Amino acid sequence: MKFSANLGFLFTDLSLPDAIRAAKSGGFDAVECHFPYDTPPPEMKDALAQTGLRMLGMNTWPGDRAAGDFGLAALPDRVDEARAEIARAVDYAAAAGVEAVHVMAGRTDGGPAAEECFRANLNHACDLAAAHGLSVLIEPINTRDVAGYHLSGTAHAERIVNDLARPELKIMFDCYHMQIMQGDLANTLEHLLPKIGHIQIAAVPDRGEPDCGEVDYGWLLPHLTALGYQGHIGAEYRPRAGTEAGLGWMARMRLAQ
C-alpha cells in the first residue's frame, strides 16, 4: 500500500520543497499538492530528485476564493480565464515534474451551459496535457463544504469520462467527499476502478486523520488492493494536532496489510 502526502493540508508550516523533504522523512511514498505556483518549478523538481518522490498532482488555480470562486472551468462567462489557468497549470506541471492536473469546475447553477462549458474546457485541457504526457483529473466534491460545486457525484463524473473518451481524463475519487454525498464506497470504487486516476482519504465527518469516524479505512484500503488498485492513496486530511503527531495511522495500516 502506497501513501501520498497532500501538501495542501500536511506540512503546511514549511515551504513546498521542505514539505516534500518532510514527507519523505515521514514515510510517505509520494506527494501531491494544491496550488504550487509560488514555488519556482526547478525548486520543486530539485526536491523531488533529492527525495526520490513523485509529485502525483496539482490543481488549476481556483479563481478569487475571497469572492466565492472554487474553480473556473464550468463558468461560461469566464472561459478565457479558465483556459489561461489550465495552460498555466499544464506548463507548470510539465516543468516541475507533476504527473496530473486536477481541473477545478467551480460553482454553477448546474445547467446545460455550465456542463457544455466544463466539457469543452476539459477537452482543451486534455489536448494540452497530451502534448506533455500528463493526465487530467476531475473530482466530485461534496456540496456541504462547497455549496453549488458543479461536479458533486460519481455518476456525473463517469458520464463525462465516458462521453469525452479522452485517455488523459480520469476521476479523482476522494472518499471523504463521496462518503458525504453517496456512501457505499466499496461498491462505487469497484465499479469505477478502471476510470479512477487517484484516490484520497480522510476521516468523516471531521476530515482529520483517517483512523476513526464513519469510514473503516482499515478494511476499505486492503479491499481496494484486493480489487487490483495499484495506485497511491492520497492523505488529504486536516491534522488534528499537527502533521507529525498524527502520522501513526499510516504505520498501523501498513502493519495490518
By CB neighbour count within 10 A (0-12 exposed, 13-18 middle, 19+ buried), where does 87 fall? middle
Which range of residues forms the domain containing residue 248? 2-255
Span 187-215, pLDDT tens digits? 999 999 999 999 999 999 999 999 999 99
Across 43-50, average pLDDT:
98
What is the per-residue pLDDT across 221-252, written as a single tens digit (0 to 9) for each? 999 999 999 999 999 999 999 999 999 999 99
- Pure H helices in the chain: 16-25, 41-51, 79-96, 112-130, 154-164, 175-181, 185-192, 217-227, 248-255
The residues annotated as belonging to the active site are: 139, 236
How many domains does the chain contain in total?
Answer: 1
> Which grid cell is 65?
476564493
Residue carrying C-alpha cell 469516524: 213
Task: Identify whether the C-beta of residue 96 lies closer than 8 Å to the C-beta of residue 52.
Answer: no
Average pLDDT over the chain reads 97
| Contact between 87 and 49 (Cβ < 8 Å) | no
User: Would the pLDDT of 257 be above 80?
Assistant: no
Q: Tell me: the pLDDT tens digits for 131-174?
A: 999 999 999 999 999 999 999 999 999 999 999 999 999 999 99
Whole-model pTM: value is 0.97
225 and 256 Cβ atoms separated by less than 8 Å:
no
Q: Using only the alpha carbons of the chain, give its radius of gyration.
A: 17
At residue 255, the pLDDT reads: 85
Residue 165's CATH number: 3.20.20.150
Q: How far apart are CA 198 and CA 203, in angstroms?
A: 17
